[in-house]
Amino acid sequence: MGAKVNPQKTKLGQNAEAEALFMSIGEGAFVTDSNARISRVNQTALRILGFSEKELLGKWFPEAILAEDEQGNPLNSIDRPMGQAFLTGNTVSARTYYRRKDGTRVPVFLTVSPVMLDSKPIGAIEVFRDISTELALERAKDEFVAIASHQLRTPATAVKQYVGLLLEGYSDPITANQRLFLERAYESNERQLQIVQEILKVTKLDLEKVVLNLETYDIRHIVSQAIATVKSSFDTNQQKIVIKEPDEPLMAKVDSDQLRAAIENLLENASNYTWPGKTIAVSSRRLKDRVRIAIKDEGVGIEAQDFPKLFQKFSRIPNPLSVEVSGTGLGLYWAARIIHLHGGYIHVASTAGRGSTFTINLPDPL
């Protein structure tokens, strides 16, 4: 016969074990109750933020743990990851900045989930870690890439000038074969410069050296300008472009140059990954809380498992046209970052073999 089990003792044992497990988590952890008050905090969280347990327990989470964006603007409660977790009912992961007790900032990567009891939400649990070292490494890498790219650009530009001079006949006469080879060298050099330029553009963004020049613009005009720029690509690929826009002005506060470039990027992408003869539709409209620009193609589409790679740096996704499309894999990353800087986001819906819709969502301040 087995030993008699005291249910009360077992329960106490389980509680103690749960408490010990929580306190031993190697990352910072908070638990909040249904009134957003901190009901538990572990040692790692206290160490990262410099508070004592007494200073946090029972305190209102949004006030006790101040969260900020990269620029140091306080996040309002509903935009905090915890607010998003309550709004969606799902686990939310995000990078943000917390203020320590001494007022200094610490970058953190956190994951927050609603705590469910009998299918009812009763609070939240948040786990976070200090990512200062990771960010410093990332920054050092970005700076290295920026310097290397800049150094590469100067000699590459000189090559372009000299090859150009040879082609223009500023030296001795060249044979037809020499011209062919020089033209190929010139084209490759142009491509090389374009890649360096794209890397520099992305690095500048990563190093937070891009400052938006926000002004109120009619989004319809920006979309028209972007379409005009990419028109030659549509013509070359024999694609039809359909535009749907409201009759009245669609005003939003944006950096028109950066937004236009992001739209151009999505349009070029749509053109590159769509077969000749197909249609690309561009629509813009105002929704209740945002302005939406959608670019819908009838192209190769994206497999579901490739979605997470879409906005990553240097990512190239295999598709039936990938051999025909050249690129650095930086365009979508750059476009997404620019829209994010505007406080918006890009949403993608796609079915492999049937096409994709990339939707730019911009906050509507009007």
Partner 1 sequence: MGSLSLLDQILEISQDYLGPAAERFIDRQISTHLKKRPEKITRQDIYKLIDWIKLSFALLTNDTDMVEQYAKRLKLVADGKWSEATGKKWAQK
Give the residues lining the site for partner 1 (CB under 8 A).
Answer: 34-37, 60-63, 77-78, 80, 82-83, 86-89, 114, 120-124, 288-289
Shortest distance, position 31 Cβ to partner 1, whole Å: 13
Residues in CB range of 323: below 8 A, 6 or more apart: none
Shortest distance, position 97 Cβ to partner 1, whole Å: 18
Q: Can you read off the two tokens belonging to residue 216?
A: 């109120």
Please check whether residue 335 is in contact with residue 319, taking contact to mean a CB–CB distance below 8 angstroms.
no
Q: Can you read off the two tokens belonging to residue 308?
A: 């997470």
In this complex, which beta carbon is closest to partner 1, that of residue 59 or of residue 179?
59
Shortest distance, position 283 Cβ to partner 1, whole Å: 22
In this complex, which beta carbon is closest to partner 1, that of residue 60 or of residue 181?
60
In this complex, which beta carbon is closest to partner 1, that of residue 24 or of residue 88?
88
Number of H helices, E strands in the chain: 10, 13
Residue 74, classed as helix, strand or coil, is: strand
In this complex, which beta carbon is closest to partner 1, that of residue 114 or of residue 299?
114
In this complex, which beta carbon is closest to partner 1, that of residue 88 or of residue 238?
88
Shortest distance, position 69 Cβ to partner 1, whole Å: 17
Shortest distance, position 41 Cβ to partner 1, whole Å: 17
Q: Where are the alpha helices (DSSP H) in 237-365?
A: 256-272, 331-341
Shortest distance, position 237 Cβ to partner 1, whole Å: 38
Query: What does the alpha-carbon distance between residue 70 and residue 248 come to, in Å, rounded to a whole number?
Result: 35
Query: What does the alpha-carbon distance between residue 141 and residue 136 come to, in Å, rounded to a whole number?
Result: 9
Residue with tokens 């890009």: 346
3-state secondary structure 52-90: CHHHHCCCEHHHHCCEECCCCCECCHHHCHHHHHHHHCC
In this complex, which beta carbon is closest to partner 1, that of residue 123 or of residue 301?
123
Q: Can you read off the two tokens belonging to residue 239?
A: 């694609």
Shortest distance, position 34 Cβ to partner 1, whole Å: 6
CA 356 to chain centre: 18
In this complex, which beta carbon is closest to partner 1, that of residue 15 or of residue 88?
88
Q: Can you read off the two tokens belonging to residue 49?
A: 């933020």
Shortest distance, position 344 Cβ to partner 1, whole Å: 16
Phi (first) and psi of residue 112, to 5 degrees:
-130, 135
Residue 102, classed as helix, strand or coil, is: coil
Query: What does the alpha-carbon distance between residue 329 and residue 335 come to, in Å, rounded to a whole number?
Result: 11
Please check whether residue 115 is in contact with residue 122, taking contact to mean a CB–CB distance below 8 angstroms.
yes
In this complex, which beta carbon is closest to partner 1, that of residue 63 or of residue 324?
63
Angle, helices 256-272 vs 219-236, to 10°: value is 30
